[in-house]
Amino acid sequence: MQTLCAPLGWLMKVGYDLLHNYGLAIIFFTLLTKVILFPMSLWVHRNGVRMVRIEPVVNRLKIRYFGDQDRIADETAELYKKEHYSPFATVIPVAVQLLLLLGLIQVIYHPLTYVLRLPAGTTEALISQAAKLARIDPGAGAAEMLAVNAIQKAADPAAYLAVPGMTGETLSAILGLNMSFLGVDLSAVPAQEGGILLLMPLLAGLAALALSLSQNRLNPLQASQGKTSQLLSMAFSVGLSLTLGFIVPAGVGFYWIWSNLFSILQQPVLNRVYPPEKQIDYAELEASRKELAEYTGSGQKDTRSREEKRREQEDYKRFFAIGNKHLVFYSESSGFYKYFESAIRYILDHSRVTVHYVTSDPNDQIFDLSRREEKIEAYYIGEKKLITLFMKLEADAVVMTMSDLDNYHYKRSYYRKDINYIYMFHYPLSTHMVLHTGALRHYDTILCVGEFQFEEIRQTEALFGDPEQRLIACGYGQLEKLYDAYQRMEKPRRARPKILVAPSWQQDNILDSCVDELLGELLGQGFQVVIRPHPEYMKRYRVRMEDLMRRYAGKDPEELAFELDFTSNQSIFDSDLVISDWSGTAYEAVLVTEKPCVFVDTPPKINNPDYEKITVPPLEISLRDQVGIRVQPGRLAGLAGRIRSLLGDSGYAERIRAIRESCIANFGRSGEVAGEAILGIVREQIEKRKKG
């Protein structure tokens, strides 16, 4: 503190010696510190402009690696390093202001030390003498101020000349020390003195409010923040000013007022020296924010009806009112029931266990089923309330198709630590490229599609030091259901071959990168084209999809149709060929119909940057050339002819059957294997609790 206060006290003394007025000396001190610190302020200003300039890149990193917080953090750190942006620079002005405040408080409390520059021995002796003659508290933090007041009010100030080191000149300086400004004692504390001094904290709060409003318009970094952030920052600044203004000497509040006013005047100067409008593309900034909001759904209002909210509340209470829940399923939407269906059917037919089925879709088909099945209890819980439900969950086993348990919003139960969390796949492919790093880490049991996933998971566990999970090769019930329906279906005879376009929802998918070029090659070539977007694409990019449909609204439905009802798989069954990028639906179609696929090589969905450390190649890559052909976006010319050649190649059916046999476990009885595995886990949990 001595190191900090010495130069501040010197500046105050210079101002006081020049102006002979304590209030003017504080104004001079404030202005001088602003001038001295202007290079630092300019550096912070440049840094803030740099942050706003690169924000579009940061927003698109958040889109590209959505859900992978570690990857986003790593990529953002690399960007900051490349752009020479320091995220810590924004705290420097606050830290400097706090240091100046602390230093100034000490300077005002110690006028003998810092303004009059008396030796420490003389100062201590004066305080001791004032304690004897005026009964001041020598141990008080404001002892020097009290000593000055005692000397100035003494009937015989000459009595203090007896103090060692005191001279008549020093006594005159103390008697002439005027800590008032326009009749206001700047050494007094408003909370203690009251009266007109109470205006000081109010004026300090108003100055802070004026600065916040000004910065919200003129400071590029603060102006780029959302309204909520601006209001919170304003509330903190005004609240701090009011609070400090009451409990510290009025001189500090006086300094704070002028510091805020000079900061208001300084910002236009900074903008003139380093103009933000020459560095920041505001149109690009706004576009990136809209893309991020559209992608993540942030900023969207809760558009649910009052009835849906009431229903959620009732189901939430009902869920926790039922005790001793052995088995819980969670489904993100109605379209996920099909992945659980064969296992649930086996459980209902071969046990007395009640299935508690939680869904975030108020129109989930499970509600119709629960009205017919007394052993199914269905609950509608929205995504936000689901966070709390997961935290408070109590059950023996929980089955989900949702990856990244415990990595982000949805946590393992805080109430019951021994729940066995079971992961069931909703696609028949590999685990290590599409899933995020550690996506399955917090599951206890994984019901695998086939043994090909065993080695992938075991290598992943070894790579990251994760605990070994129970792996059970169950198969893929959805594939069996599709296959059985396809075998029973009367194969349509049509003049036009039906081409299903079933892309993924990831960045640069077919719909976002080359759909117009693709349709330009296919339409008018004698095909019926059906576009079936991924359900997640509709959830995140409905506006884009609606725009695409408007562009082709005039096309004959027999030539181009859009399928947006994801509860039906009819388009997979009766399509003659599927075109996809990286969607698991394409492989489902191939393995069910035994017909080839066209893969558009858009950038792959790599959510795990370490996937190449796993020696097993991902199935979604290794099978592309075995079950169809690959084409590059931007090089689709002649695709119609290549599709006709594929449709005429009968050799694919035998190759696809062999792949299905080797990759998919227990084909035809996966529901039995999965259902028995789940029931076995429930029985184990019950036995553990009995013994525990």
Spatial CB neighbours of 683, under 8 Å, sequence gap ≥ 6: none
- Same domain, residue pair 345 and 383: yes
In percent, the amount of the chain with pLDDT more than 70 equals 97
User: 536 in a domain, yes or no?
Assistant: yes
- Same domain, residue pair 612 and 540: yes
Q: Is the pLDDT of residue 202 over 70?
A: yes
Domain housing 85: 2-186
User: 482 in a domain, yes or no?
Assistant: no
- Same domain, residue pair 458 and 426: yes
- Same domain, residue pair 211 and 347: no
Query: Amino acid identity, residue 250?
Result: A
- Same domain, residue pair 470 and 349: yes
Which pLDDT score is estimated for 1?
63
Q: For the segment 116-169, what is each residue's pLDDT rounded down to a tens digit?
A: 788 888 888 888 888 888 888 777 777 877 787 788 788 888 888 878 878 888
In percent, the amount of the chain with pLDDT more than 90 equals 44
Residue finishing a domain among 186, 205, 230: 186
Spatial CB neighbours of 401, under 8 Å, sequence gap ≥ 6: 331, 332, 336, 339, 340, 423, 424, 425, 426
Query: Amino acid identity, residue 284?
Result: E
Between 463 and 225, whose confidence is greater? Answer: 463
- Same domain, residue pair 169 and 201: no
Question: How many domains are contained in the chain?
Answer: 4
The whole-model pTM stands at: 0.59
What is the enclosing helix (H) or strand (E) of 370? helix 366-372
User: 191 in a domain, yes or no?
Assistant: no
User: 299 in a domain, yes or no?
Assistant: no
pLDDT band at 299 (very low <50, low <70, confident <90, very high): low
- Same domain, residue pair 138 and 75: yes
- Same domain, residue pair 520 and 383: no
- Same domain, residue pair 177 and 28: yes
- Same domain, residue pair 331 and 271: no
Q: Is the pLDDT of residue 636 over 80?
A: yes
Which pLDDT score is estimated for 400?
97
- 654: CATH: 3.40.50.2000
User: 76 in a domain, yes or no?
Assistant: yes
Q: For the segment 660-684, what is each residue's pLDDT rounded down to a tens digit?
A: 999 999 999 999 999 999 999 999 9
SS (H, E, C) 216-236: HHHCHHHHCCCHHHHHHHHHH
Q: Is the pLDDT of residue 412 over 90?
A: yes
- Same domain, residue pair 209 and 64: no
User: 286 in a domain, yes or no?
Assistant: no
User: 571 in a domain, yes or no?
Assistant: yes
| Average pLDDT estimate for 385-400 | 93
Q: For the segment 451-497, what is each residue's pLDDT rounded down to a tens digit?
A: 999 999 999 999 999 999 999 999 999 999 989 988 988 887 888 99
User: 668 in a domain, yes or no?
Assistant: no
What is the enclosing helix (H) or strand (E) of 327? strand 327-331
SS (H, E, C) 414-474: CCCCCCEEEEECCCCCCCCCCCCCCCCCCCCEEEECCCHHHHHHHHHHHHHCCCCCEEEEC
Residue with tokens 């952030």: 229
Residue finishing a domain among 135, 162, 186: 186
- Same domain, residue pair 311 and 217: no
